[in-house]
A and B are shown apart, each in its own frame.
Chain A
């Protein structure tokens, strides 16, 4: 760019995009500065909007945010050009295959690989003996090996791996590996894992809990338990949830390539490339800078590709030994034996309400079956409890949870991590309580919500909350008043709610006060295109699109000028990965701060060219110009070239870190998030009482995602979540025999809903505009799954008056319940079962008044920048601005059980009867 003073404003770039004339603002005569701050009058508009420090400023351009944007990589997908794990074909590649354990639990005496190695075409056979370093996704529970070192812990556990010229030779070699097993007694029933055994599945040394198979136990007591002793009404339930697999369509696959430079490149469809990076360094004993983890396109994750996996280690080990690229692809049954799906669980849920229609106590006991390894289980154990302490104000909360090892494929993180099952139990409990109180369940919920900017009973910081809007919109959309308890027998409607974390407050791997959770680098050179370097893993949810949108919005450029490079760890800044619904919130915030730095430079350059004040300039569609006189300004390219003088390409870096928050008790960080999403669904079902077949007819799904950056994706996430949740509630189940054999490790017998089972879903997007979210956004990926389960179960009750307590509600299970009730009522046909009816009690009016008052309270709190703190418990008459523990002498806050409790513990609570090895007195060990 020449410094010629004559060049002011517009100039055509030869061969480049023809920029529109000055003042035209590009495509449009004037650039539209969309007023994103405007609140409709109906919601108390025209008052100042609260702003957090992470909110984007006044220079919004309206380029892309809030528009239905196709995924930036979708053209690759629809043309078949997207390269997933197995599509990486490197020259000279070898095929890797894995020998898996046929036994549930066995000690490996010896492995003879000599015959396998002698087969022509076999280049390497490796076993666990040389690779004894442990890894795992959580640093506190590393318990996996690349291949079994001493014991196999479930059918399908890795024993050995081979690399061969082609697949049939590889399979042949597996057959020739001779393994001498000493078969041990497996533990299949999770209840038995609570007891002491001779040989626990893992040995955690001094941290081992007795000699049991308890991997993690949690005890939490918050509140004043006086009110729970004599509640007005109670709902008690005992739940049994089957394990669920993610069912992503792409089986795991990995390619390892040891390059001539001596560095390893691992091509893998991963949600969390960074943890793989760390684990590879641990197992291969090479520094992290010698490894490049390349994330391929990911054919669905849902949490199932968020562990560092042993087969990824195997591929790297084989590639190192053979000096050639090695590709390992799973068969579908290997996917099921790797699992990491939702935990099978036993949940006991007691809910108590008082005369005023307030939830005075929740007592939860969750025993979850972790299978053979720890995976994310440490966190899951907490999430089963702490993620149902909102959105309602509760008087007391008591949670005992235990995760145990069994000799089954490991459970792990799956969409709605840890919150799904206990949420279902809570929402059914609330429905039951409403039935006993004779009030409307939506009114009951509306009268018990936490306000915006409040603190939950366990100390989570709630910022924006759109729960009320969700409930009201759903109630209106589904015509609730006309349907609830009024539909004919066999036809019912039900409601369910949920809330979920939007990013985890604490990163897994480091002190949050020292490193950012997400970092984004931007680079802009002469061509004007913006390159985004980010480590965020796009697993199909559209994170590349969101980060491109964010930058496009800040810089006022069309999204086509943005390119996202998010695949290689060599070029991407560290990002913690796609889990905990953290990507949009954290990564887009990082992208915004990086883009603002670039924008500041562009504005400064424009001010220099035009000789005007920086403050007077705004950004439009590829132009920077004076707000009051749009004719004064330059094109984006001109400003860019001016800014590049003396220094070349513009480069900036932006980062996001969560603010300090939360309590100080043990486990306070679990479930802590910078923002929470909320959702409310209504489901309409038809139940055939004579066969027990449940059909979901229609779902109304309202989700508060803060702000829909890309409504197309948000709706896709809501409908997709419904699909996955409906699978869990109606058909999906990992079926084990009593001996622990998995009966359905394939997609034929593991029933994922097809299009015929899928009801119409009406997605309703609620925008509560979070003060810290990027442009106000929160998560939309996991939260939408939670409410669908209870909504369907509650609808089944509305249809035939039967409360289920086991998922999935397959026809055989439901029919057994129908049969039982028919027999107990001495009816001659299931069609004569009583249809639930509702006659409002006096409490209904009280609750309606309270809901109306709270609606005003919530609106005031949302818009008042000088609001005072609000602690959970205010509804019970406590002072809202003082933490309850400081104003109630009998307030308990405990994370270890008392002697009194241990005398008569609940199921999972009995895990606390064991003493950790390090606390044992001498002599106890034997």
Chain B
């Protein structure tokens, strides 16, 4: 046994209370360490497991969340910086039982294959569409340049954005076919009957 005093490798910060509005839900009873990373807080304390950890270095974009509507890498953000702010994760994109158009078109255009990078792409694109409801290829590319996708080669993601923009501009809302309240017989199109 060594005689040197115990020096922990990761210094523990002081715990203090933290609050934020995450996906329109108020979280005000959390106690976090002053050096806690937002990604860890969201995944481990809040339980938003849709926020993915891909690299911890800000290189893959899987952990992107919206902080007051602006895409940020949660792995490079101290939780303390976001105190009192509005945070949106992929779980907060759907409006009740209605999916965000980009969620719908991601499934239809093949924007998601393994799906691990999808949450990051979705929040970035939702922020883009929020500002610019009809982005061109260049604007889409600039928006998602910080996100890595290893499956799709990005092409079908860009297709999805265009399709979503079309839905947005036509003012349609998207049915959530995972929700039984909306449609007890999902997938069966009865409009012709």
Interface residue ranges, A against B (CB under 8 Å): 17-18, 20, 27, 70-71, 73-84, 86-87, 89, 114-115, 118, 168, 171-172, 175, 246-251, 297-302, 329, 331-332, 539-542, 558-561, 712-713, 715-716, 719-724, 746-748, 752, 754-756, 758, 760-761
With a CB–CB cut-off of 8 A, which chain B residues contact A114? 1
Q: Which of the segments B79-87, B127-135, B146-154 contacts the partner chain? A: B146-154
Interface string of B149-170 (1 = CB under 8 A from A): 1111111111000000000000
CB distance A715 to B141 under 8 Å?
no
Can you spell out 9 A-B residue pairs with CB atoms less than 8 angstroms apart? A77-B115, A79-B91, A80-B91, A84-B52, A171-B9, A249-B148, A558-B187, A715-B110, A754-B145
CB distance B122 to A78 under 8 Å?
yes
CB distance A79 to B8 under 8 Å?
no
With a CB–CB cut-off of 8 A, which chain B residues contact A87? 49
With a CB–CB cut-off of 8 A, which chain B residues contact A299? 52, 114-117
A247 to chain B minimum Cβ distance, whole angstroms, is: 5
A331-B118 contact given A80-B50, A560-B188, A715-B110, CB 8 Å threshold: no
Q: Which 4 A-B residue pairings sit nearest by Cβ, starting from the closest?
A: A80-B50, A540-B114, A560-B187, A77-B115
CB distance A539 to B187 under 8 Å?
no
CB distance B59 to A748 under 8 Å?
yes
Q: Which of the segments B14-22, B66-74, B101-109 contacts the partner chain? A: B101-109
B193 to chain A minimum Cβ distance, whole angstroms, is: 6
With a CB–CB cut-off of 8 A, which chain A residues contact B192? 27
Extra inter-chain contacts (12) besides given A115-B2, A722-B153, CB under 8 Å: A27-B189, A75-B107, A77-B106, A78-B112, A79-B94, A115-B1, A302-B150, A540-B115, A541-B113, A559-B187, A560-B188, A760-B155
With a CB–CB cut-off of 8 A, which chain A residues contact B48? 80
Within 8 A of A (CB), among B18-64: 47-57, 59-60, 62
Complex Cα distance, B151 from A118, in Å, reads 45
With a CB–CB cut-off of 8 A, which chain A residues contact B77? none
With a CB–CB cut-off of 8 A, which chain A residues contact B116? 84, 248-250, 297, 299-300, 540
CB distance B153 to A747 under 8 Å?
no
Complex Cα distance, B1 from A118, in Å, reads 10
B35 to chain A minimum Cβ distance, whole angstroms, is: 11
Interface check B178, CB cutoff 8 A: yes
Closest to B186 in A: A560
CB distance A77 to B56 under 8 Å?
no
CB distance A332 to B1 under 8 Å?
no
Complex Cα distance, B178 from A77, in Å, reads 12
Complex Cα distance, B192 from A20, in Å, reads 10
B contact residues, range: 35 or more
CB distance B150 to A300 under 8 Å?
yes
Question: Quick one: which of B53, B114, B145 contacts A248, CB cutoff 8 A?
Answer: B114
CB distance B52 to A719 under 8 Å?
no
Closest to A84 in B: B116
Question: Quick one: which of B1, B148, B151, B188 contacts A540, CB cutoff 8 A?
Answer: B151
A296 to chain B minimum Cβ distance, whole angstroms, is: 11
CB distance A80 to B49 under 8 Å?
yes
CB distance B10 to A331 under 8 Å?
no
CB distance B189 to A719 under 8 Å?
no
With a CB–CB cut-off of 8 A, which chain A residues contact B110? 70-71, 712-713, 715-716
A20-B193 contact given A79-B103, A80-B119, A250-B114, CB 8 Å threshold: yes
Complex Cα distance, B151 from A542, in Å, reads 12
B173 to chain A minimum Cβ distance, whole angstroms, is: 16
Question: Quick one: which of B12, B55, B104, B153 contacts A168, CB cutoff 8 A?
Answer: B12
A761-B153 contact given A79-B178, A747-B59, CB 8 Å threshold: yes
A100 to chain B minimum Cβ distance, whole angstroms, is: 15
Complex Cα distance, B156 from A812, in Å, reads 32
With a CB–CB cut-off of 8 A, which chain A residues contact B109? 712
Question: Quick one: which of A75, A539, A715, A746 contacts B156, CB cutoff 8 A?
Answer: A715
CB distance A542 to B188 under 8 Å?
no
Closest to A78 in B: B103
CB distance B55 to A746 under 8 Å?
yes
Complex Cα distance, B112 from A329, in Å, reads 23
With a CB–CB cut-off of 8 A, which chain B residues contact A246? 150
CB distance B1 to A758 under 8 Å?
no
A720-B153 contact given A81-B50, A249-B114, A715-B110, CB 8 Å threshold: yes
A249-B193 contact given A17-B188, A74-B107, A84-B116, CB 8 Å threshold: no
Complex Cα distance, B141 from A73, in Å, reads 26
Complex Cα distance, B113 from A73, in Å, reads 10
A249-B152 contact given A539-B114, A713-B110, CB 8 Å threshold: no
B63 to chain A minimum Cβ distance, whole angstroms, is: 11
Closest to B59 in A: A747
Question: Quick one: which of A70, A171, A249, A746 contacts B10, CB cutoff 8 A?
Answer: A171
Q: Which interface residue of B52, B155, B158 has the most chain A CB atoms within 10 A? A: B155
CB distance A558 to B144 under 8 Å?
no
Complex Cα distance, B186 from A86, in Å, reads 30
Complex Cα distance, B119 from A395, in Å, reads 52
CB distance A70 to B114 under 8 Å?
no
CB distance A720 to B151 under 8 Å?
yes
Closest to B146 in A: A754
Closest to A74 in B: B107
CB distance B8 to A756 under 8 Å?
no
CB distance A723 to B153 under 8 Å?
yes
With a CB–CB cut-off of 8 A, which chain B residues contact A542? 113
Complex Cα distance, B152 from A74, in Å, reads 14
Closest to B47 in A: A89
A74-B106 contact given A540-B114, A719-B152, CB 8 Å threshold: yes
Q: Which interface residue of A251, A542, A756 has the most chain B CB atoms within 10 A? A: A251
Complex Cα distance, B146 from A747, in Å, reads 12
CB distance A27 to B193 under 8 Å?
yes
Complex Cα distance, B54 from A86, in Å, reads 11
CB distance A168 to B53 under 8 Å?
no
B87 to chain A minimum Cβ distance, whole angstroms, is: 13
